[in-house]
């Protein structure tokens, strides 16, 4: 979920979601689990991003929507949040199996969300190349999640990476070019991309990824 927050409301927004979202994630009747929550540091600014996991597929997604529509506490939360936002967007995503599921991380990291808008019909080729390339990236334990859209804008891929800081990010990305196979991945996947963007994010204090 992407929330574009009014710049003058960012502190109030963080306080509000920090009070409500952990309770929702821990609610046994709610079928979703919060995987990560961030605000942007570089890229699109004044944006909050929340990543949820629904283990029951579409049935769980529908159940979650029904639950929050009937939850008075959530409706009050949504009413307060509404006036703080310029725009909201959500996507339903599947994970690439070779990335694995996001695992909680101890403080402190910055996170990079790299979003690739692919040419229609190229997702399988993308996955085949990254199924090999992730073995190179996982040597640094910086891979958090690899996801692709099913509902929302289609042929969109998100990769999330964790780094100690921007200098570590630069060093890791520079050293990749010395590893066999990385240049092949880049050469094979760049032609599949229509456009791409990068956001550097900092975790909100209540998220499992710190």
Q: Are 204 and 14 in contact (CB under 8 A)?
A: yes
- Specify which residues 156 forms β-bridges with: 117
Q: What is the pLDDT of residue 42?
A: 98
Whether the bond into 136 is cis, omega within 30 of 0 = no
State the distance between the two ends of the chain, measured CA to CA, in whole angstroms: 18
What is this structure's pTM? Answer: 0.96
**Residue 171, pLDDT score:** 96
Q: Which residues pair with 198 in a beta bridge?
A: 114
Burial profile 112-123: b = 16 or more Cβ within 10 angstroms, e = fewer: bbebbebeeebb
Query: What number of residues does the chain have?
Result: 210
- Residue 209 per-residue DSSP state: B
Q: Is 203 helix (H, G, I), strand (E, B) or coil?
A: strand
* CB burial of residue 58 (10 Å; 0-12, 13-18, 19+): exposed
- β-strand pairing of 92-95 with 143-151: antiparallel
Tokens representing 59 are 């049935």
Is the CB of residue 169 less than 8 Å from the CB of residue 84?
no
Q: How far is CA 126 from the centre of its chain?
A: 18
Closest CA to 42 of 202, 204, 199, 159: 199
Q: Which residue has the tokens 């004044």?
A: 46
What is residue 139's predicted lDDT score, i.e. its pLDDT? 83
CA distances from 111 to 20, 161, 192, 195 (A): 23, 6, 24, 20
Picking from 60, 189, 27, 66, the residue whose alpha carbon sits closest to that of residue 122 is: 189
Positions of the chain with pLDDT lower than 70, given as ranges? none
């Amino acid at each position: 979920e992407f929330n574009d927050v009014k710049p003058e409301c960012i502190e109030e927004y963080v306080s509000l979601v920090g009070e409500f979202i952990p309770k929702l994630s821990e609610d046994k009747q709610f079928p979703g689990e919060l995987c990560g929550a961030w605000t942007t540091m570089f890229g699109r600014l004044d944006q909050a991003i929340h990543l949820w996991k629904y283990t029951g597929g579409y049935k769980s997604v529908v159940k979650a929507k029904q639950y929050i529509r009937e939850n008075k506490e959530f409706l009050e939360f949504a009413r307060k949040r509404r006036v703080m936002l310029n725009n909201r967007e959500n996507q339903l995503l599947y994970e690439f199996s070779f990335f694995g599921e996001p695992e909680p991380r101890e403080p402190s990291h910055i996170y990079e969300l790299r979003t690739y808008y692919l040419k229609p019909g190229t997702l399988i080729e993308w996955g085949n190349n990254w199924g090999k390339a992730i073995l190179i990236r996982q040597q640094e334990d910086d891979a958090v999640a690899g996801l692709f859209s099913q509902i929302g804008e289609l042929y969109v891929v998100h990769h999330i990476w964790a780094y100690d800081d921007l200098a570590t990010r630069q060093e890791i990305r520079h050293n990749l070019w010395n590893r066999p196979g990385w240049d092949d991945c880049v050469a094979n996947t760049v032609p599949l991309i229509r456009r791409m963007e990068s956001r550097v994010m900092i975790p909100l204090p209540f998220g499992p990824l710190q």
